[in-house]
Amino acid sequence: MKILIVASFNQGFYAPFIVEQAQALENNGHDLLFFGIQGHGVIGYLKNISQLIRVIKQFDPQIIHAHYGLSGLLANMQRKVPVVTTFHGSDINNKSVLRFSKLAMSFSAYSIFVSQRNITIAAPHKHYQLLPCGIDSTNFQLFDKQEARAKFKFLPSRKYVLFSGSFANRVKNSDLAQRAVNLLKEVELVELKGYSREEVNLLMNAVDAAVMTSFTEGSPQFVKEVMACGCPLVSVDVGDVIDISSGIDGCYMAKYDAHDLAEKLELAMAFEGRTQGRQRIVELGLENDTVAHKITEIYKNIVK
């Protein structure tokens, strides 16, 4: 089946989880082409319509799969090819974007939501499914912790906590994480920024714990990748984190409170060995191959 993937290319690259999902779909026998959106906001996105129509005529896809609400709105400006739109969270949690995402939902042949919370907020009326993005478990392997620490020149006397993104991203709420870490002795908060995918994998094996303090999320890839590496985790109740990590020893839920977060981080850093997070990812069907099979069934039903 010929599938046109429509997604933002504003940063000069596509989001890694979109690329990895596309690779899994190719492994399922689909012929894929990417259309990269250049522009910001509703007007910036819709300015891509003429170029998108040209690509549709040349590639002649059977399905368009758009990622994020504004991409879905753009993709539905043409009515020749049915559109599947995946809503990833920021397009639902941001009220100013939600109204445009609702338009994309109404026009799309099918909508995919990555968390139940987003479904509750969006309240879709037709043709939708809860289907979190998977991870490529081959990209997130288990490594010897001491060897991984040596790669980053981590000091033996210090503990290291991996933050879920850039400190500059206000939605990630790094201030809370930093205040919690400041309450602990000999602990350093590591910013997840500027690393290759291979380095991220090593980093998740090298640190003593990972932390997420975001104000909003959909179904955070960070948490799934951390769990696939067996790294202890502390997170606030955001997105679908509690659904994915509950009951796993070494994974802790914390309040939006620095003291509570610090207490949970101490527990996480004291956890010995690997968590059973990798097994949970497999049990929940959150590997990319499994997710790709489910998306393929959606495509087939639409084409029928």
Per residue in 104-129, pLDDT (tens digit) is 999 999 999 999 999 999 999 889 99
Structure pTM?
0.91
- Quote the pLDDT of residue 304: 85
pLDDT at 19 over 90: yes
User: Which pLDDT belongs to residue 137?
Assistant: 87
Both 114 and 7 in one domain: the answer is: yes
With contact defined as beta carbons under 8 Å apart, do 212 and 265 qualify?
A: no
What pLDDT was estimated at residue 4? 98
Residue pair 133/221 in contact (Cβ under 8 Å)? The answer is yes
Same-domain check for residues 74 and 103: yes
Residue-level pLDDT at 142: 92
For residues 128 and 148, membership in a common domain is answered with no
The residue-averaged pLDDT of 225-253 equals: 97
Same-domain status, 67 and 188: no
Distance from chain centroid for Cα 119:
16
Based on the structure, what is the number of domains in the chain? 2
Q: What b/e sequence results for 161-180 when a residue is b if at least 16 CB atoms lie within 10 Å of its CB, and e otherwise?
A: bbbbbeeeeeebbbebbeeb
CATH code assigned at 272: 3.40.50.2000
Per-residue pLDDT of 204-223, as tens digits, reads 999 999 999 999 999 999 99
Mark residue 30 as left, alpha or beta (left: phi above 0; alpha: psi -120 to 50; beta: remaining).
Answer: beta
**235 and 256 fall within a common domain:** yes
Arithmetic mean of pLDDT, 65-93: 96
What pLDDT does residue 293 have? 96
Give the position of tokens 């991203």: 169
Same domain as 71, residue 35: yes
Produce one character per residue of 119-148: b if its CB has 16 or more CB atoms within 10 Å, e if not: bebbebeeebeebbbbbbbeebeeeebeeb
Assess whether 54 and 169 both reside in one domain. Answer: no
182/197 same-domain check: yes
- Residues whose CB falls within 8 Å of the CB of residue 180, separated by 6 or more in sequence, listed in order: 211, 213, 258, 259, 261, 262, 265
DSSP label of 47: T
Residue 70's domain spans which residues?
2-134+287-303
> Do 130 and 47 belong together in one domain?
yes
Give the chain's mean pLDDT.
96
The answer on 156 and 248 residing in a single domain is yes
296, 254: one domain = no
Q: Where does the pLDDT of residue 64 fall: very low under 50, low under 70, confident under 90, or very high at 90 and above?
A: very high
Give the model confidence (pLDDT) of 136-168 as tens digits: 988 899 999 999 999 999 999 999 999 999 999
DSSP 230: T
Q: What is the DSSP letter of 191?
A: P
Mean pLDDT of 195-208: 96
CB atoms within 10 A of CB 222: 23
> Are 185 and 259 part of one and the same domain?
yes
